[in-house]
Amino acid sequence: MTRLPAEGRCRATIDAVLPNVDDGRYPLKRIVGERVAIEAHCYADGHDRLRAMLLWQIVADRQVADRQVADRQVADRRVADPEADVGEVYEVEMTADVDDVWRADFLPRVPGLYQYAVLAWVDPFDSWRHDLERRDDVQDIRVALSVGAALIEGAADRAASGDAESLRSWSAGLRTAANDPRSDGGRLKTMALDTGRTELARRHADRRFATRRDYTLIVDRKRAEFSAWYELFPRSSAVQPGRHGSFRDVEEQLPELARMGFDVLYFPPIHPIGRVNRKGVNNALAAAPTDVGSPWAIGATEGGHKAILPALGGFEDFHRLVARAAELGIEIALDLAFQCAPDHPYVTAHPQWFRRRPDGSVQYAENPPKKYQDIYPFDFESADWPALWRELKSVVDFWIDQGIKIFRVDNPHTKALGFWQWLIDAVKREHADVIFLAEAFTRPKLMLGLAKLGFTQSYTYFTWRNSKRELTSYFIELSTGPSREFYRPNLWPNTPDILPEPLQSGLRPVFAARLVLAATLSGNYGIYGPTYELLESAARESGSEEYLDSEKYQLRHWPLHRPDSLRSLITRVNRARRENPALQSNQELRFCTIDNDQVIAYWKRDAASGNVVLTVVNLDPLHVQSGWLELDLERLQLDPRMEFQVHDLLSDQRYLWRGPRNYVSLDPQRMPAHVLRLRRRQRRENDFDYFL
């Protein structure tokens, strides 16, 4: 016989809760101060009244939450308790439309892991009250009052002492009035439908037969949504050619990086570099005695993942660098590469953590035809995997203790996915402000899967999306598809591993256009800084995306103040991002029709401020391209009869436009892009304000 359900009296159905990620299997992601709007499709059989409630709470360590609350900046009076204590459950009544769609929202003020639930139930008290409102017969009203008195008595039993006393008094009054032959129907209904006492009874509703759906939410700090990354190798930061750079050399560059508008400075691994199987210049198998090796070949006699390459300096120098960067509004991000050089201390101390070849030697990393003889990957199927997991988490904990809160994770798709889910959850429960960037250029579903597991930001295919059609379709997918609820793109036009074919042209308009695209299509972007500033374009060989004389294998010297540097343009682009909230998130991105396939146009809007920025880019690096651009004036709330101003934040030029169609022309030799802030005319002639 088929088993009965645990409780068959739950009549409410919660058909869907939106938005969600795989029906709640994975958490939504939001930013501190971003309202979480929840929609639930709830209904029940019959004509009884339904109620629905949105419940939410913070799940975190008390000490961590206290530290977060101290930095609270956003105020909202619509939640039960603005302090939002950890573990305290807050409730928001949901409201419904005629199609059984129930809505409510709440505002998270601190980073952390949140839980929320939709609760729906057939409410006897609301049903009774609704039924009573429609009754006219006095005898029916008297009977109904007796029923209501019993329901109110039940609410009193569920209430605390103060409310219970008031409810019992109301219940007794209804019983007395119902039995008083002098009471007319109007007076009886007025007593029963008392608004103040009704709310008191509803506060203590009978929820025994409620249906519940539970979900989780990750709330990150603002930098998870808006950041400008600059990558450099500290060992190549020396002013003198040929000298090994240090943290002190990097510290000298910090003021200029801050002036340029970068807020994240990312280092490849800073640990001791293995000497066994060390790679030479341009990935040569045989290294010369003076070759410095690849920073991703981590570990030597000086230590492993918790040590610093001595040539860079000591921990005192590192702490000084982190502190100085923070003073300038810059965070240091470290590379988290879970792999070892053959002479890493782990290889000797924990041989069981590595896979063996038939001859007994440790299997080095391979991605055929690529071979990495200087790197041993961990074996995540090792029988000793619990100890391996705990040790790797201790590496993250160690660097958090050194002041690091941002990690770029190297090739996470080549490690066990379950490990990342566990690690990120464990770390963020203890340090909710930590950010993990997934450096994974792999299959689409795997990239999305890593984001679902908890990675804060993700690399994208932007590096290989070049045509108007490719860019448009890809970013429509990212900005409007299901992934927008959990996948935060971080756009990089180049990396130490990737010199894309268009950049190999060495053409300045290509570098400028790709910079503007990356910085305006996403709230998060980054550049492999020195190479991008100086238009580095030489590939190791034809058909390769590897840099010639790659900094991964040798020291380089970068004359960053060279006259042809892109530094001035980069500074203007970052200033535009900082001054315009529309460019600081991915909340609303819309592509515009323009009658030229070599020109792409799109706008972004910030809902809170009304700030709108329109970006237009010439994708042809050689020729002037022009066309008629169409704006959706209704969506932008622009009067088609009124002139409005577009202010180019790159050139500081201003243009007057009117109506939905306007002409644009871009000469790539001068500037291949417009970044236009929309302004509309105020009442005073020739006075303009931000678009609202």
- Give me 689's structure tokens: 């304000």
CB of 606 closer than 8 Å to CB of 646: no
- Give me 18's structure tokens: 């939106």
Alpha carbon distance 45, 278 (integer Å): 71
- Number of neighbouring beta carbons within 10 Å of residue 640: 10
Residue whose token pair is 């080549």: 414
Alpha carbon distance 685, 229 (integer Å): 41
Sign of CA dihedral 390, 396, 400, 403: positive
CB of 564 closer than 8 Å to CB of 537: no
- Of the CA atoms within 13 Å of residue 580, those in its CB half-sphere come to 32
Q: Strands, DSSP E only, in 392-476? A: 406-410, 435-439, 457-458
Phi, psi of 395 (to 5 degrees): -65, -45
- Mapping DSSP to helix (H, G, I), strand (E, B) and coil, where does residue 612 land? strand
580: left (phi over 0), alpha (psi -120 to 50) or beta: beta
CB of 106 closer than 8 Å to CB of 89: no
CB of 508 closer than 8 Å to CB of 569: no
Residue whose token pair is 């679902």: 452
Task: Give me the amino acid identity at 534.
Answer: L
Cα distances (Å, whole numbers) of residue 43 to 16, 122, 206:
11, 9, 17
Residue whose C-alpha is closest to residue 436's, from 475, 400, 485, 464: 400
Q: Give 632-660 as a 3 state SS string.
A: CHHHHCCCCCCEEEEEECCCCCEEEEECC
Eight-state DSSP code of residue 559: -
Sign of CA dihedral 385, 386, 388, 389: positive
Residue whose C-alpha is closest to residue 90's, from 121, 124, 114, 65: 114
Residue whose token pair is 């066994």: 276
Which helix H or strand E contains 117, and what residues bound it?
strand 112-122
For strands 490-491 and 457-458, give the pairing.
Answer: unpaired
Residue whose C-alpha is closest to residue 307's, from 284, 277, 334: 334
Eight-state DSSP code of residue 540: S
- Give me 171's structure tokens: 């219940």
Which residues are identified as catalytic? 410, 439
Strand order in the sheet with 36-44: 12-18, 36-44, 101-106, 95-96
- Give me 401's structure tokens: 């203790």
296: left (phi over 0), alpha (psi -120 to 50) or beta: alpha
Eight-state DSSP code of residue 362: B
Alpha carbon distance 354, 317 (integer Å): 33
- Number of neighbouring beta carbons within 10 Å of residue 347: 19
Q: Strands, DSSP E only, in 385-427? A: 406-410
String of DSSP letters for 328-350? TT-EEEEEE--EE-TT-HHHHH-
